[in-house]
Amino acid sequence: RIELKKFGMTLMSRQSGKEAFAALQSTIAGSTSSETIEIDFNGVVTFSPSCGDEFLTPLLNQFGDQLVLLPTSNPSVKITIELLEEINKRNFKTSI
């Protein structure tokens, strides 16, 4: 489980998304094809589409259905996910 708040509570820029993705690489490098990678948005106040594109899109491309977004009530996270799904023409897997 990756707690996104470890990278900041306000994730607004492409640069912050790139930095979060780069920092995560050493953690997920040893992941097997059977492991699920869960993204937890609890504690994140703002999550912009530009940050999400630099962080979530590469993870989706790298891990596909292994990537699971945990439920959130945060409107900025929900809107960002919807926008990225529309742009990428791919849906993120979510847990219920």
Q: What does the pLDDT look like over 16-72, one tens digit per residue? A: 999 999 999 988 877 777 889 999 999 999 999 999 999 999 999 999 999 999 999
Say which amino acid occupies 41.
F
Q: What CA–CA distances, in Å, run from 68 to 15, 22, 24, 41, 94?
A: 23, 19, 15, 11, 5
pLDDT in tens, 57-86: 999 999 999 999 999 999 999 999 999 999
- What is the model's pTM? 0.92
CB burial of residue 32 (10 Å; 0-12, 13-18, 19+): exposed
State the Cα–Cα distance between residues 53 and 58, nearest whole angstrom: 8
